[in-house]
Amino acid sequence: MCSAELSPTSILLLSAVTAGFLIQQFANLDIDKYPFPILGTVFSIQWIIALGLQYSGGIYHTFWAAQSIALLTVTVGLISLWANTLIYRAFFHPLNRFPGPYGAKLSKLWVLNKVVQSDLKLYQVADKLQKTYGDYVRTAVTDYGPSIEEFTSKLVERLDRTAGGATLVNEFCTHYAYDVMSSLAFGTSTRFIEGESNGKANIILKTIQKGIVHIAFLAHLPWALSMAETLWFLGGPLKSLREWSGDQVEARRHFESPRPDIIGHLLANTKDDKKGRILLHAEGRLIVGAGSDTTGSALAVLLTFMAYFHDYQEKLHDEVEKTFADKTYVCTQPQTLLDSIINEALRLCPPILFNSQRMAPKGGLRIGDIEIPEGTVCLLGPFTPHHDERNFLQANEFIPERWTSRPELIINKIAFIPFSMGPYMCPGKAVAMMEMRSVIAHLVQRYRIDFPKGANFDIQKYYSDIVDHFTAGIPDQELVFTPRNV
């Protein structure tokens, strides 16, 4: 009885299939962090196979024959790895006991598809998933007060020039937030509020606004985000932002600011070497980008709420009028109604809709009767818990009293997480609260805020038109600011 020998091609392809299986079983490929090294390894393996075949003197001794069979071998290996990964995720993954859409178990592309289908409203998709599948769904600075008040005064001057006419609230809220954060970060303002921003600052603002839309897609494919970050030097918006923040940090290094600023503090506590400069430049981008867009969004929502919930506008006017009169107002200190209105607006429309991430520690994590395996990345965004009746009664209603005279409307206060929570809580919370107190207090005290005549404002449509691109994209809204002393 004769046994047929396997051909060299069959041996190579069977080896590739076996390698794909073994890599899936035993290797920990962190492609999200190291996409290029892993991609380089794949190409290197192809060339090693091709060279080995070429110099072995067999049937693949020519260059093109060796390259072709090497490419086929690597491709079969990758298909085997992909297929084994899908089988593992579908049937053997430790999170399989958690309910959820089948496609979400297999690939992050399912989430990316939902981002596209929902028109950047993934937070609404997540809220529907929670209602369908339950709670566990498998898917893959007080020194700054004077500076803030100074910028609020400039904002008032700008609104005085357009008082009585319709003003796009999103625009001036964004300009205010960027001016404040650039000043607090680098000691110099971008001067948007005064209308004196330079061309570079205008480009950077547009770059950040476009960049966060791209992040809405790339953030669900971490390996793609890593590749974009690695290739920043090729050009585009990321290159412009990195160069601008680097220039701002280095300029700040060479002058003394009369007021405290964040980068000045970091410069004093960071080594002046390559590693230190990389960290400082990254912090500069983060401070201005994350700190400005979030506050700008929150302010736009708050002012729109003041026009819609007119009774609260008048009650707040009475409160701030009194504190201004007796000189007890300071933006660094809470005020009863003002802070309750801010909290309620942040609860209904959190300025960051993106899911915070935490990893289950060694030994796993137990929440109630749910066991989460160690190493599992858990995601939680603020929108769903903020709108959950188990946490807040009448969860979809604007009721500032829940934070003051009606505490029974709050069932679980710890579910209020507009600034995230724990050791990774937003470090800019205090500054953001000062900005919101300052702007809302001054504008409500000075102006009557209304919608333009004939405007047909639908608050449910306003809510549903908010998009999720890391920070909340607030629908454009025009408001009229009429001086109260006229």
Residue type, 486: V
Residue-wise pLDDT tens digits, 308-365: 999 999 999 999 999 988 887 888 888 999 999 999 999 999 998 877 888 888 998 8
What integer is the mean pLDDT of 184-206?
82
DSSP 288: H
Q: What is the pLDDT of residue 248?
A: 84
Q: Examine the pLDDT at 126 and tell me if it is beyond 60.
A: yes
Predicted confidence band at 253 (pLDDT cuts at 50, 70, 90)? confident
Closest-CA residue to 385 (of 358, 353, 357): 353
Q: Examine the pLDDT at 31 and tell me if it is beyond 70.
A: no
Task: Please tell me the distance from the alpha carbon of residue 131 to that of residue 91, in angstroms, as a whole number.
Answer: 24
> Is the Cβ–Cβ distance between 362 and 343 less than 8 Å?
no
Name the least confident of 203-217, 281-295, 438-452. 203-217
Predicted confidence band at 3 (pLDDT cuts at 50, 70, 90)? very low
Does the global pTM surpass 0.75? no
Known binding positions for heme: 426
Which residues lie below 8 Å from residue 103, measured CB to CB, with a gap of 6+? 110, 113
Residue-wise pLDDT tens digits, 67-110: 888 888 888 888 888 888 778 777 777 676 667 776 777 777 77
> Is the Cβ–Cβ distance between 353 and 379 less than 8 Å?
no
Which residues lie below 8 Å from residue 360, measured CB to CB, with a gap of 6+? 372, 373, 374, 375, 376, 377, 378
> If 0-12 CB within 10 Å is exposed, 13-18 middle and 19+ buried, where does residue 255 land?
exposed
Known binding positions: 426
Q: What is the pLDDT of residue 232?
A: 65
Which residues lie below 8 Å from residue 55, measured CB to CB, with a gap of 6+? 61
**Consecutive H or E run containing 82:** helix 63-87
Residue-wise pLDDT tens digits, 305-320: 999 999 999 999 999 9
Burial 427-439 (b: 16+ CB within 10 A, else e): ebeebbbbbbbbb
Average pLDDT, the chain: 83
